[in-house]
Amino acid sequence: MLEKIFAFILGGCVGSFLNVCIYRLPKDMSIIKPRSFCPHCKKPIRWYDNIPIVGYFLLRGKCRFCSAKISLRYPFVELLTAIIFLILYSHFGICWNLAKYLFFFCFLIVVSSIDIDYHAIPAYLCFLAIAVGLLFDIRATIHCLKIGAVRFDPKLLPIFKALRGLLFGLGFTYLFKLFGDIFINLYLAFRKKESIEGEKESLGLGDVDFMGVVGVFLGIKSVIFVFFLAPFFALLYSVVAMIFKKSHLIPYLPYLSLAAATMFFWGNHIIKFIGIIF
């Protein structure tokens, strides 16, 4: 019990750091220096105002100095990260996979948030995640070889599974992007319409790189399911947005992330269920 509380609190602190990453990475700022400050009046935030989740409510969502509103996303990201730490710790216990998938979920949170703000993500984020994922798999592979677990089938080595996932994730999504782009451009040409800037693309290159990350961490099957699951989440959101008359122009990465999280938790059930139908 005590350990789970610790996992939750640690998650909140990491969430606080993720907020820093979300704010600073797209601006090319250092994520270490300077310490946290109010984006409005630039005054450093006091340590007791910076306590994850709680700090926001103690300040009633306003900066202590200039009373500028603090986005509700700060406590949301902290709470979400804390819950994910708690769930993954309960699921894995202390092991390498815990570290690997904690990293993966932190990645999902950061890229989704940045994509919502900027409709694009720094390209190096996906490459970094792919590199980290492969490092975890290299470690697991060395471990497998040491204990002789896969002596008979080298194809089952974690690093090969990860590389297959990577190539498939990139290739599969890129093909879809190519066909999608051709289709959209034909459509626009046929209707003699000028596209609004940026709308000539079916999928951004960021989405393609992102699916490479999914391939490394979740494998080939998940790539396919994430790809076809994400539009359902997008559709669901569009319906809700239409009912509440909100703008539903939201970038795609949050839906892909949601689909990836769904596959991580319920992937086996979903694949089994589909298997029963067909």
Q: Supply the minimum distance, in Å, between the C-beta of residue 59 and Zn ion.
A: 10
Q: Is 74 or 85 the residue whose CB approaches Zn ion more closely?
A: 74
Dist CA 148 CA 202 (whole Å): 45
Binding mask 19-38 vs Zn ion (x if CB under 5 A, - otherwise)? -------------------x
Q: What is the phi-psi region of residue 198: left when phi exceeds 0, alpha when psi lies from -120 to 50, beta otherwise?
A: left
- Exposure letters 173-194 (e unless 16+ CB within 10 A, then b): bbebbeeeeeeeeeeeeeeeee
Q: How far is the CB of 108 from Zn ion (least distance, A)?
A: 29
Asked if residue 34 has a cis previous peptide bond (ω within 30° of 0), the answer is: yes
41 is a contact residue toward Zn ion (CB under 5 A): yes
Distance CA 132, CA 125 (A): 11
Q: Which lies closer to Zn ion via its Cβ, residue 63 or residue 84?
A: 63
- Contact between 66 and Zn ion by CB under 5 A: the answer reads yes
Residue 8 near residue 86 (C-beta atoms within 8 A)? yes
Q: How many residues bind Zn ion (CB under 5 A)?
A: 7
CB neighbours (10 Å) of residue 199? 10
Least distance from C-beta 14 to Zn ion, angstroms?
24
The one segment of 67-75, 83-91, 133-141, 160-168 that binds Zn ion by CB under 5 A: 67-75
The CB-of-125 to Zn ion minimum distance in angstroms stands at 28
Judged by CB under 5 A, which of 7, 63, 140, 157 binds Zn ion?
63
| Residue 47, C-beta contacts closer than 8 angstroms, at least 6 positions apart | none
Question: For binding to Zn ion (CB under 5 A), which residues are involved?
Answer: 38, 40-41, 63, 65-66, 68
